[in-house]
Each structure stands twice: as C-alpha cells, then as structure tokens.
Amino acid sequence: MRFWQLASFGGFLLLLPLILGLNDYYIFLTTLILLYTVIVMAWYFIGGLAGQLDLGAGAYHGLGAVVTGYLMIYYNVSGWIGLVLGGLAAMGVAFIVGFPSFRFGLKEVWYALASLGLVLILQKIFLLWTDVAGPLERYIPFREFDPLYMRARAKWFYYYITLGLLLITFYLAHRAKRGKLGLYLVSIRDEEEAAEMLGIDTRRYKLVALLTYSFITAVTGGIYASMVGFYHPILFDGWIGIQTATIAIVGGLGHFWGPPLTSVILLSIAEYLRINLGGTIPGLHQVIFGAILITAILFKPAGIGPYLESLIEKVRKR
C-alpha cells in the first residue's frame, strides 16, 4: 500500500515538467520551490534533530553559488565538480565557525544571531574580494545543452537535478533519524546536560549535523547559480535562513515530513499570490505570506506536521 502511494507520488514528481507543458517559466518556479524545500529538509539536521536555531542558510547557499560559478566561469570546470567543492568549502566555513561556537557553548538566540551575522560577514568579504565575486555580477557562459558542464537552456534539466538532490537529502535525513546520529542529536536537543553525562560527545554530533546541513545547502546554491546563469555576493542573503527556519517551525520543529510539506505548500501559495497579486500591489503577497506564517506559529505552536499526524490518527481510529 505504502509502496504504491510513494510510487505514484514519485511518478507525479517525475512527470511534473510534462504536466506543466514543458513551460520553462513554470518549471523554473517549481524548481525554485524544490530548491528551498531542500534547504528546509537539510535544516532538519541542525534545527530539527540538533535543536540549534540556525539562520545561516544564506551563507552556505551563497558559498556554493560562488564556488560553483567561479569554477565554471574561470576554470571551465564542470558544475558537478563545483557542487562538490562548493559543498566542501561550506563545510570548511561551517567547521571554522561551528567548532568554537559549540566549544564555547553558544546556544539559543546567541547561536541564531551568530549564524545570521555569518551570512552578512561572508557577503561583505566576497563583495570586497573582487578577484572572485564582488561587486559585479559574474555570468556563467551560455550552453544550449551540456549536461557534463551542468548548464542547459531548458529548465527541466535543473528540475531533475534538484529533484535528485531532494531525494538524497530525504534519504540521508531518514537514515540519520533512524540511526545512532539521530538518537544522540535528539537527546542533545531535549536534554543537553543529561546527554553529556551519558557520555555523548555533544559537540561532535552537533558539528556533524551542522556540516551535513552546510554541505547540502551549498549544493542548492551551486544549482541555483547555474540555473540563473550568474552569481553575485547578494546571494549571501540573510533572508533565506530566516525563511527556512520559520517554515521549519511552522511545519513542526523536529518533525520529519512536516517542514518539507509545509515548505512546498507555503512556497507554492506564495508564488501563486505573487503571480496574481504582485502586479497590482507589489509586496502584498508577502504580507499575506507573513500573516499565514505568524498565525500558524501562534495557533499551532507544535507545527503543521504533528497536527496533521494527530488528524490522521483520529481518522484511523474511526
């Protein structure tokens, strides 16, 4: 039963570009939604499991974009290699910042603020680092269809890359949740001191969560840069982190499928509102989006995922 549900869902995702009539614009939007959903899913490691309210997604996203784009433009290196190297670079930065942060016991609001600060610091560093990024936009050479170089005019190419990444992220998160890592991280999240007394190396596991998250987020950045065909320090955007965290909270902090589901639904609503309202009153769609977010946080503090789960339980019991 579950197999067929998943298979039909997978089939739907696979055939989505055809359903959208191969219209580049709609596939582009869908891919963007999926990309952000990947970040939300990656946030599961650091936020959902390890319980650290990280707002630094923009830092890793931007880093992935810059590294991938830079290698593609100046060294003619395939984007695929760029994605990996970008991910590794993000892991490096995450380590440099994360190690002392966990060492000195940074948590809660201070951790959140430090991660947000990191985004802005990196943005300005790359703005000043004129050999690599700022202050001008750098354009990735156009290719009609070059899968090895990871650049194509048709948007379905990026759609499938993103879909693949989403599946991998799901798989990794699923494994982490079921495995030792998840167990340790959840115990750290819920009762850090108790976990420490049980002999769990809390710093190490938090760091593992952070590094995984930063790697995946950087890969989304690389895909994004190749898809829009340019990169700029502005991609180090603090807003991505804030949006990711809010969506994850609305979806249910620590819940497995709540946040990605919420992400797809809310971002689709946001795009729909943008297309329909963006022309008449620019920005109105974002206010509605914000209002939906805050209402959900205030009235369903546990999140949409757990709420749906309890609904399903009720239906089953009947």
Partner 1 sequence: MNSRCNGLTKLQAIVVVIVLVIGVAVGGIFAITLLQPTTPTAKVEEIRVGLVEPLTGTYAVFGNEAKMAAELIVEQINAQGGIKSLGGAKIKLIVEDSKSTADGARLAAEKLVSVDRVNVIVGAFISAHTLTMLDVTEPNKVIVMADALVDYLTARGFKYIVRLPPKASVHGATAVDFVVGLMKQKGEKITRPVLVHFDGLFGEVTGDGVYQRLRDLGIKLVDRIKYPTDITDMAPIIERIKAAEPDVVFVVPYFADSVLFAKAVKTLGLKVKFIAAAGGTGLADPDSIKAAGDAVELMTNTYSYDPFLPTEYNKKLVEDFRKRYGKLPTEAAGIIFYTLWTLKEGLELSGQKYPQDPLNGDNLMACFMELDLKSGPAAETYPTGRIKLLPNGDNMYAGAVVLQVQGGKPVLVYPFEKAQASAIYPRP
Partner 2 sequence: MDLLIDFAISLARNVVLGIMMGSVYALAAMGLALLFGVANLINFAHGEYVMLAMYMAYFFSVTLVIDPVVSSIINIPLFFLIGLVTYFLFFKRVINAPPLSQIAVTVGVVVLLRNIALVIWQAEPKAPPFTIFSASYEMGPITIPLDKLFATIISITSLILLYLFLERSKFGTAMRAAADDVDAVSMMGIDTGRLFLLTLGISMMLVGLSGSLIMMYQAVTPTSGLLFGLLSWAIVALAGLGSIRGIYLAAVIFGLADALASGMWDPRGREIILYGLFILILWLKPRGLWGRR
Kindly tell me which of 17 and 303 has the beta carbon lying closer to partner 1: 17
| 28 near partner 1, rule: CB under 8 A | yes
List the one residue out of 215, 183, 293 whose CA is nearest residue 41. Answer: 215
Kindly tell me which of 43 and 159 has the beta carbon lying closer to partner 2: 43
Contact, 157 vs 227, CB < 8 A?
Answer: no
10 Å CB burial of residue 199 (0-12, 13-18, 19+) is exposed
Residue 224 tokens read as 């994004």
Report the distance separating Cα 102 and Cα 91, nearest Å: 15
Report the distance separating Cα 127 and Cα 125, nearest Å: 5
Kindly tell me which of 29 and 304 has the beta carbon lying closer to partner 1: 29
Kindly tell me which of 199 and 279 has the beta carbon lying closer to partner 2: 279
Among residues 245, 264, 267, 304, the one that binds partner 2 under rule CB under 8 A: 245
Contact, 66 vs 170, CB < 8 A?
Answer: no
Q: Which does 289 bind (CB under 5 to 8 A by kind): partner 1, partner 2, none?
A: partner 2
Contacting range for partner 1; rule: CB under 8 A; set: 44-52, 103-111, 133-141, 293-301: 133-141
Collapsing DSSP states into helix, strand and coil, what is residue 230?
Answer: strand
Residue 305 tokens read as 């995922």
Contacting range for partner 2; rule: CB under 8 A; set: 1-9, 83-91, 210-218, 275-283: 275-283
Kindly tell me which of 1 and 109 has the beta carbon lying closer to partner 1: 1
Report the distance separating Cα 311 and Cα 101, nearest Å: 39
Report the distance separating Cα 191 and Cα 126, nearest Å: 38
Q: How far is the CB of 128 from partner 2 (least distance, A)?
A: 6
Residue numbers at the binding site for partner 2 (CB under 8 A): 51, 53, 97, 100-101, 103-106, 108-110, 112-114, 116-118, 120-121, 123-125, 127-128, 135, 238, 242-243, 245-246, 249, 253, 281-284, 286-287, 289-291, 293-294, 297-298, 301
